[in-house]
Structure 1
Amino acid sequence: MGEISGKSFIAESLPGYSSDIGGQIGMLWELIKAPLIVPLLTICVYICLAMSIMVFMERLYMGVVIVLVKLFWKKPEKRYKWEPMKDDLEEGSAAFPLVLVQIPMFNEKEVYKISIGAASNLSWPADRLVIQVLDDSTDFLIKVVLLQYLLL
């Protein structure tokens, strides 16, 4: 048998032997391609096929669940017993819950009037409505203008 020299990777007795490194690497690739790479790729194909079938089954299941929910689920009108709020002259606006509206602002000179005006024009009893303007502006002029607007 041929000896393996320090300059080669493959024994000289193997068929297809060449003395250059590129040829030796090419021969190594040819030797390991069929017994190692092909079975590995085959396993990967089977795994992908199994995962595709699992995704299809999950979508089919979810489709059936959605159809059943749409057909047999109770509508909100049947599920909840609710009544609209009645106007009680004796209670006044105490039947309404207390509502807090927070308006965050940061250097927004252009929109502060629109935002505060929209919150002020809500159709809700004034004694049950709290409006907070949360201003983190760094511009002193905007803070002054906003404060003047709120005090009016």
Structure 2
Amino acid sequence: SGGIWRIAAINEAGGWNDRTTVEDMDLAIRAGLKGWKYVFLEDLEVKSEHPSTFTAYRSQQHRWACGPANLFWKMVIEVSKNKEVSIWTKFYIIYNFFFIRKIVGTMFTFSFYCVVLPLVSLIPEADVPNWGAILATFIIATINTLVATPRSLHLAIPWLLFENVMSFHRSKALFIGLFEAKRANEWVVTEKLGDVLIKNKPNPESSSEKEPTQQNRLRER
């Protein structure tokens, strides 16, 4: 997604497949298994837009958590049996890309902050250091914000609290994708504000027909 593809790479990878809600990720992995390489241009900037409503954002996050988990089970055997890439590439795709980033990474926030810490607080004998529960998380959030979006540094703490809440939503979507339960392949288009503006933008041609210009009025006279 967000890339310029060679038609030969798409065709050799098997084309577009709608077996999950992350078709772009599916295609990218299959192309990688065929030996195709990617080039990331750091100096090229492309405009993007976030979902304009919270409902649209939740739908997007559900798809981004559910889709990779669903794709993991459908591709893990295919990746393991692939003979065109090295064993280290297979290890990276299965362990690093899928298991750590898409599964463990999604589950950690919810498990630690929304399950483990609340349960530990109910046990008087348990002693969780403040640096592990609060300070370390604050430092990670601050560094992440400074590197990615420095101008949003003042939102680091609200963002951290918001992410803890969203972690439950993503974890739920993760299990839906892993077990291919209901809504695993549900596709909800993420409507954005730019789409609304384009829809409501008047058509210059139609407006010119309905409202004659000053030049046309003079000709009519």
TM-score, normalised relative to structure 1: 0.23
Report which of the two has the higher share of strand. Answer: 1
> Quick check: which one's helix share is greater?
2
